[in-house]
Amino acid sequence: MLKLLIAEDEDIIRKGLAFTVDWLSIGYILVGEAANGEEGIEKIKELQPDVVLTDIMMPKIDGLEMIRKAQDYVRFKSVILTSYAEFDYAKKAIELKAYDYLMKPVDVDKLKELMTRLHKEIVAEQEKELIIKQKSQGIDSALFFDHESYSNPYVRKAIEIIKERYVEKLTLESLSEELMVSSSYLSRKIKEETGHTFLDFLNMYRVVQATQLLKEGIYRVYQISDMTGFTDYKHFCTVFKRYTNFSPTEFMKSKE
């Protein structure tokens, strides 16, 4: 889910945008509202939204200035709402790298279409960034995103099972038995297709999931160990450091 903030000084419009659109169904959580530009800056800094949907003409600070100032603190995409059709406003929005703008009164269907398109683009960007970052840490997470790209059907199914049931106790032997193929054949094909052994692949996927949970800052390290299929806490810490060059605790501190 992406975090959304709405900035609009007219209560009826702001509340209409908040409650007329089923944001959850298109991948957003509405984390906050702002009634003017100053409040918008503070809310953006506090709530760290992925997307800001904002009017241009607001008291204290207008929407464009709000975006300009808030971008010094938070990285987000913006969608502009305006009643003013003058090119100058559109030009300024483009200069601020706004994703798009809509004329008021807002057509809800067009808004949902735009926000759905934006959601797909943001998620794609996040996945690319994750791949680059984790490659630098020794984890090639591109291996996991599209298991259908592998040519061998047993490898495809094995990776699908790993992604769905990585929390369980999985072994090469149990997997090969489930797929009704010899463990030596499956081991060889996984290595050929991915460049990694079965255990290496499984551990990498578990570590990728662990990094996401650590970033959330909700769970303790021993809880994340259990949640990602590592039954032994010390083993989890050892494996995590092998792939990231950080202990789980060091990794959490590096994100603060």
CATH number, domain containing residue 194: 1.10.10.60
Which of 89, 105, 130 is at the close of a domain? 130
DSSP line for 162-231: HHHHTTS---HHHHHHHHTS-HHHHHHHHHHHHSS-HHHHHHHHHHHHHHHHHHHT-S-HHHHHHHTT--
Percentage, residues of the chain above pLDDT 70? 85
Q: Structure pTM?
A: 0.56
CATH number, domain containing residue 42: 3.40.50.2300
Q: Is residue 5 within 8 Å of residue 43, measured between CB atoms?
A: yes
Which pLDDT belongs to residue 214? 86
- DSSP 8-class letter at 152: -
- DSSP 8-class letter at 97: T
Which pLDDT belongs to residue 119? 92
For residue 197, which of 162, 145, 245 has the smallest C-alpha distance? Answer: 162
Q: Are residues 112 and 167 in the same domain?
A: no
Task: Specify the number of domains making up the chain.
Answer: 2
Residue 50: inside a domain: yes
All residue ranges of the chain with pLDDT < 70 are 84-95, 127-148, 254-256
Q: Are residues 187 and 244 in the same domain?
A: yes
Residue 125: inside a domain: yes
The pLDDT tens digits of the residues spanning 166-223 come to: 999 999 999 999 999 999 999 999 999 888 899 988 998 899 889 888 877 788 899 9
Q: Are residues 161 and 77 in the same domain?
A: no
